[in-house]
Structure 1
Amino acid sequence: MERRIIKLRKFMNENDLHAMLVSKPENVRYFSGFSGSAGMLLITNNSNKLLTDFRYIEQATAQAKQFEIIRYSATLWKTLADLVKSSDLSKIGFEGDFITYDGYLEVVDTLPMISLVPVKLDNLRMAKDDAEIVSIKKAVEIADNAFLQILSFIKPGMTEQDVALQLEYYMRKLGAEKPAFDTIMASGARGALPHGRASEKVIEVGDFVTMDFGAVYKGYHSDITRTICMGKANTRQKEIYGIVLEAQLAGVKAVAPGKVGKEIDTVSRDIITNAGFGEFFGHGLGHGLGLNIHEEPRLSPTNIHTVLLENMVVTVEPGIYLPNWGGVRIEDTVLVSTEGCQILTASNKQLIELD
């Protein structure tokens, strides 16, 4: 944690801030280790304080060993105001992309003498440290193993919800804290929905089934998508799958330090566009992940500024979605490395046809 706090203090000094209020749960956990649902950090150049309520004092004491734990009993803002006044702070950063407008007004009302500066801290989490990478790899391993198990479970006649529930059960049995997000399970024509969450639709012979899911391990997320066929794939299915697989493999190969998101997105997108399906690939190629399932950097046509660095973790997930037909998406989680990238997802990407 000390290196992370040093990084935050460097950011504070670069922005001429006397202190930083950290309130987004992911950032509270990142800088302190505290994973409770009620807490805020007040970090200055020479002190670390974690404010929480009675429910979390014991947990905070155990998890945030480098922080002074301060219990608030009236309101968080009143306790915060007392701390700020006693510390002679005048310019404080706060997470403007997280605190609500009502919350902001409460801070202004409680601390009228303070200059409040909105900042964003998420970018400080983009490059992962060794401990984070270990947790992400474990989350990926859990999802991979759950996918292997689901291949022997899924059968025609089951509903998408049946399969999604079993997939989540497998991940929990394998050590996941919870699913990384609501599992996407889209079969047949529903595969044209990029975010088609599991429904009561019955899976039929001949359906493509797109499964997009992930596990959370020690707060860190994994993300994987595989599309399988229930039975033998027809010529059209093989064609679409082959185009997406080619685009996905090329996208993974393009990931490397020094590139911006648009460069990598373009590699995959050009393959799909040149095959005549560009209008049916409407989302970005991928995104960062970590304590959130969607983080910076983005691999998208609009990201022309954020440069990939070693130890960033991103997804590569092209897809084709055809209305009234279905869709295909293939996704891996990859770690940016000096050699380019390391593919963390181990599940087979070749077309799987289940008898």
Structure 2
Amino acid sequence: MTGKRLEKLRQKLKEKDLDGILIVKRENYMYISGFTGTYAYLVISQEDAVLLTDFRYSKQAKEEAEIFEVIEYEGRLLNALNDVIVSKGIKRLGFEENVVTYKTYTEMKKLLKVEKLVPVDGMVEDIRAVKDDEEIEIIKKAVEIADHAFSHILNYIKPGVSEYEIALELEHYMKKKGAKGTSFETIVASGYRSFFPHGTASSKKIENNEAVTLDFGAVYKNYCSDMTRTVFVGKPDDKLFKIYDIVLKAQKSAIEAAKKGFTGKEIDSVARNIIEENGYGKNFGHGLGHGVGLEVHEKPTLSKRGDVKMENGMVVTIEPGIYLENLGGVRIEDIVVINDDFPVVLTKSPKEIIVL
């Protein structure tokens, strides 16, 4: 797949009138080259694809980045980088403006013999937004691991168990099932803490008659999954059951609207309108969802600012929520693949109200 990805990137270089681009973000160089190590710089032009790394990774890079010219450098990186740029005749060099630090930029400006350093934003990320069949199959496996973990943890959640213990059990189980790690710091937020959308696990113990929100994901072959479920221990305030029904309706409606050609803003508005019509608009303060892939948060964005139109192969979350201070909150999240007018829901965990 790296050949096709290079073709797409080179087309973007033409559109931006660039001779080449420097790629340093790990997710981007993994995607373009296939190299999975933790240190590499890519220089890509219309004719050449070079991977710079040091002795720790040169053998791995040659095995994984088969169509790249792998250069093992010694000494100062920028000197080696300059040698590549000069030898390849690159005059206008793009760089990832949201990744390269100002310090590195000033050093590059001094040392690199180019006519112009051109900041570019999201060039590779735009390509990554549409997944190929292989990527979708890997994400399916990451989702499956999380689904199994959710089923497992339902037998573990009970009064007296701490949020930390639940998070640890989730993470341990996912690793036993093949996960490389977690997509992000596991969220377990119970009772009044479920008001916090990103309430990472604490020492608080589960109590009777409260909500427990679980937001977690598995990393499998470097791709992420992300899911959220809210369950109940005992019988909490009736208002929590009420907002659960609203959130579920909003989530299902937004999934149905997640079609090719619709913008993230339009899909977001479907869920947001339902929540607002029921009087809880001010209690849904975050976006509806985001892309998922090599990063757990990537393009496209489903929010009030989501102007990107959905394309087949985009993998996104749909995760509306309502949060009531001093009482708790409800969020339900699935991963969905855009597929013309027939969105494919990868997350299989049940969404009906679960009372433990």
User: Under TM normalisation by the shorter chain, which class is it?
Assistant: over 0.9
Selected match of 1:210 from 210, 213, 219: 213
Match of 1:92 in 2: 93
Q: CA RMSD in A?
A: 1.0
* Superimposed CA distance per residue, residues 68-117 of structure 1 (whole angstroms, 9 cap, x where no aligned partner): 11111112111000111122211111111110101111111111443111
Equivalent position of 1:351 in the other structure: 353
Is contact 1:233-1:353 (8 Å) kept? no
* Aligned equivalent of 1:249: 252
- The offset of 1:24, in angstroms, is 0.8
Alignment-derived partner of residue 320 in structure 2: 318
Amino acid aligned to 2:18: L
Which one of 239, 260, 264 corresponds to residue 261 of structure 1? Answer: 264
Correspondence for 2:153:
150
Shift of 1:59: 1.3
Q: Could you tell me how far apart the structure 1 residues matched to 2:183 and 2:290 are?
A: 14
- Is 1:309 the counterpart of 2:323? The answer is no
The more displaced of 181-190 and 71-80 is 71-80
Within the candidate set 272, 277, 283, 1:274 is matched to: 277
Give 1:74's aligned amino acid: G
Alignment of structure 1 residues 214-233 onto 2, 5 Å: 214-233=217-236
Note the C-alpha offset of 1:311: 0.4
CA deviation digits over 1:320-340, x for unaligned, max 9?
A: 011111100000000000233
Q: Distance in 1 between matches of 2:305 and 2:47?
A: 39
Q: Where in structure 2 are the equivalents of 1:57-76 lying within 5 Å?
A: 57-76=58-77
Alpha-carbon distance between aligned partners in 2 of 1:78 and 1:114, rounded to the nearest angstrom = 17
Q: Counterpart of 2:49?
A: 48
How far 1:234 sits from its partner (Å)? Answer: 4.3
Equivalent residue, structure 2, for 1:189: 192
Q: Mean Cα displacement is larger for which, 185-194 or 60-69?
A: 60-69
Partner of 2:102: 101
Count of equivalent residues: 353
* CA distance in 1 between partners of 2:88 and 2:51 (Å): 15
1:10 aligns with 2:11: yes
Using the alignment, how far apart are the partners of 2:285 and 2:346 within structure 1?
A: 25
Q: Distance in 2 between matches of 1:163 and 1:220?
A: 23
Task: Choose the corresponding residue for 2:144, options 128, 141, 144.
Answer: 141
Q: Percent identity?
A: 49
* Distance in 2 (alpha carbons) for counterparts of 1:77 and 1:167: 43
Question: Is the partner of 2:141 in helix, strand or coil?
Answer: helix
Aligned-partner Cα distance in 1 for 2:236–2:347: 24
Instruction: Tell me the residue number matched to 1:128.
Output: 131
- Is the contact between residue 254 and residue 340 of structure 1 (CA under 8 Å) also seen in structure 2? no
Q: Name the SS of the counterpart of 1:250 in structure 2.
A: helix
C-alpha distance in 2 between matches for 1:58 and 1:142: 31
Which stretches in structure 1 are left out of the alignment for 5+ residues?
none
CA drift at 1:282: 0.2
CA distance in 1, matches of 2:194, 2:156: 20
Is this contact kept in 2: 1:139–1:216, CA < 8 A? yes
> How many Å separate the matches in 2 of 1:137 and 1:150?
20
The list of structure 1 runs, each at least 4 consecutive aligned residues, that deviate by more than 6 angstroms after superposition, is none
Contact 2:93 2:114 in 1 (8 A): no
Match of 1:298 in 2: 301
Matched to 1:197, the amino acid is T
Q: Which residue of 1 aligns with 2:329?
A: 327
Tell me the distance in 2 between the aligned counterparts of 1:153 and 1:188.
Answer: 17
State TM-score, norm by structure 2: 0.97
Shift in Å, 1:240: 1.2
Q: For 1:112 and 1:283, how far apart are their aligned partners in 2?
A: 45
The letter of the residue matching 1:345 is T
Q: d(CA) in 1 for partners of 2:12 and 2:83? A: 25
How far, CA to CA, are the matches of 1:57 and 1:114 in structure 2? 30
Aligned-residue offset at 1:235: 2.2
> Could you give the per-residue CA deviations for residues 126-181 of structure 1, whole angstroms, max 9, x where no partner exists?
11011111111111001001111111122210100000000000110111110000
User: Residues 240 and 328 of structure 2 are in contact (CA less than 8 Å); yes or no, is this contact kept in structure 1?
Assistant: no
